[in-house]
């Protein structure tokens, strides 16, 4: 019998790619998403697939799944500042109540669970590059705290279920990832730059552009997640590309890639925006035998082709979802 996997956030950027990967590996996939930031377009190619089913559900509410579940991937959460600053309470709930519900389901089903943590647990780091042993420099009451602390709590809850209940848990700390199915208007730097270039707008750099990021192509990330889930290692593991670049240099790369004639303009740096971001991936290399394979130039070309294929409606749409139904909760 085929093994069965539950993927939360399945209609999101990463969740949809993970759904593809597990179907390719021969699993039966249950995709779960409340579509608050996910989009059914990301999984429309799976409609009618005999091994894929979709459940529209908020994981912050009680979860019931009939039959066996072998693996759970908890990837439900707003992941961009433009979202979690608009729906802060829901962001906190999916990282706390949602994680609690899914860990309880893993315990009841005797399933192995991997939770999607983030490089944001390191905050604005004072250690560079960031190792898994670094505890972070996070402002719990700042505007980004709703996301950072939700993920930090998620890790603590996951470890508690591992040590107290013996649940098989895995924790992946994801660094900046990009690729097809990213939302063009989600507020993160890569789609923001490409979107501005495609619309003929100036590229907006916050601060002086000296802050750094490290971008990992989605196929590499999915491979790392899969290997970590199938490993015997239960402590957090960084998965990301250590090829670091300044935001200003990255803007210049996008200008060269897209051939835009627009200029770079500068605006004030957002509060608590991390100055540096680079994963230390020794654990991924030694424990999982994983490291990124796809260069930034190769990945950006694929991603740019995807964004160019979007409709004008998608290109100029300012808001992705109407959050009004969730704001009151």
Report whether pLDDT(329) > 60: no
Q: List, in sequence order, every residue forming a beta bridge with 117; answer none if it has no partner.
A: 173
What pLDDT digit, counting tens, does each position of 127-137 carry? 999 999 999 99
pLDDT at 193: 95
For 42-88, the pLDDT digits (tens) are 999 999 999 999 999 999 999 999 999 999 999 999 998 889 889 99
| Domain extent listing, the chain | 4-325
147 is catalytic: yes
Residue 95 to residue 91: CA distance in whole angstroms: 6
CB 24 within 8 A of CB 57: no
pLDDT at 323 > cutoff 80: no
Q: Is the pLDDT of residue 39 over 60?
A: yes
Calpha distance 19→16 (Å, rounded): 5
With 0-12 / 13-18 / 19 or more C-beta atoms within 10 angstroms meaning exposed / middle / buried, residue 37 is buried
CATH T-level fold of 4-325? Rossmann fold (3.40.50)
Measuring CA to CA, how many Å separate 224 from each of 21, 30, 130, 318? 12, 21, 17, 33
Tokens 């989009």, residue located: 39
The catalytic position among 122, 147, 161, 226 is 147
Cβ–Cβ contacts within 10 Å for residue 95, how many? 31
Question: What's the pTM?
Answer: 0.95
Residue 137 structure tokens: 């420099």
Q: Backbone phi, then psi, for 227, in 5-degree steps?
A: -65, -40
pLDDT digits (tens, 9 = 90+) for 299-322: 999 999 999 999 777 878 765 555
pLDDT for res 322: 56
- List, for residues 213-227, the tens digit of each pLDDT value: 999 999 999 999 999
Q: What is the mean pLDDT of residues 86-113?
A: 97
- Tell whether the model's pLDDT for residue 247 goes beyond 90: yes
The candidate with the shortest Cα–Cα distance to 280, out of 173, 203, 198, 160, is 173
Average pLDDT over residues 238-259: 96
Residue 311 to residue 307: CA distance in whole angstroms: 9
Dist. CA 125–CA 189, nearest whole Å = 19
């Amino acid at each position: 019998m085929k093994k069965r996997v539950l993927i939360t956030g399945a209609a999101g950027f990463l969740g949809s790619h993970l759904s593809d990967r597990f179907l390719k590996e021969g699993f039966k996939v249950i995709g779960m998403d409340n579509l608050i930031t996910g989009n059914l377009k990301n999984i429309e190619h799976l409609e009618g697939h005999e091994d894929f089913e979709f459940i529209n559900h908020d994981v912050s509410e009680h979860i019931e799944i009939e039959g066996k579940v072998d693996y759970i991937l908890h990837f439900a959460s707003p992941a961009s500042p433009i979202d979690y600053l608009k729906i802060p309470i829901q962001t906190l709930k999916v990282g706390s109540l949602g994680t609690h519900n899914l860990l309880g389901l893993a315990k009841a089903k005797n399933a192995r669970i991997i939770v999607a943590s983030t490089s944001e647990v390191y905050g604005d780091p004072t250690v560079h590059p960031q190792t898994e042993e670094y505890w972070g420099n996070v402002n719990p009451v700042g505007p980004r705290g709703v996301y950072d602390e939700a993920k930090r709590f998620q890790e603590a809850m996951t470890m508690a279920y591992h040590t107290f209940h013996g649940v098989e848990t895995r924790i992946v700390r994801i660094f900046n990832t990009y690729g097809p199915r990213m939302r063009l208007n989600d507020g993160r730097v890569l789609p923001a730059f490409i979107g501005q270039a495609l619309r003929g707008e100036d590229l907006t750099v916050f601060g002086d552009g000296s802050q750094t990021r490290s971008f990992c192509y989605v196929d590499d990330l999915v491979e790392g997640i899969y290997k970590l889930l199938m490993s015997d290692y239960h402590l957090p593991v960084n998965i990301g590309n250590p090829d670091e670049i300044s935001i200003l240099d990255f803007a210049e790369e996008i200008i060269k890639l897209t051939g835009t004639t627009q200029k770079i303009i500068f605006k004030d740096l957002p509060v608590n925006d991390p100055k540096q971001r680079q994963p230390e991936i020794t654990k991924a290399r030694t424990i999982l035998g994983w490291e990124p394979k796809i260069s930034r130039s190769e990945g950006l070309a694929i991603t740019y082709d995807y964004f160019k294929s979007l409709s004008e409606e998608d290109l100029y749409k300012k808001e992705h979802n109407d959050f009004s139904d969730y704001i009151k909760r």
